[in-house]
Amino acid sequence: MKNKKEKKQINEKERKTVLTFFILLFPSMIITGLTTIPNSLSNTFLATALFFYQATLLRNFIDDHYKLILE
């Protein structure tokens, strides 16, 4: 007889933590990957766009985080 593994219930806080971690670090991984290929104007543009995307996400995260703390 096979032992069935029980699925662990993921609460809302854990789900948000993982999602936030992924959203904030994914652009960093792409920017890091861009450093392994030869420099070009398109790579520079893409890295700059990802930086501003990440900065916007981080700002939204901080605003949401402090809004929850202050309530």
Residue 8's pLDDT band, with cuts at 50, 70 and 90, is confident
Give CA 71 to chain center in angstroms: 25
Per the CB < 8 A criterion, the answer to whether 27 and 53 are in contact is yes
pLDDT tens-digit readout, 18-39: 777 787 788 888 878 877 888 8
Residue 4's pLDDT band, with cuts at 50, 70 and 90, is low
Alpha-carbon distance 37 to 34, whole Å?
Answer: 6
pLDDT of residue 1: 54
pTM summary value: 0.58
In one-letter notation, the amino acid at residue 55 is A
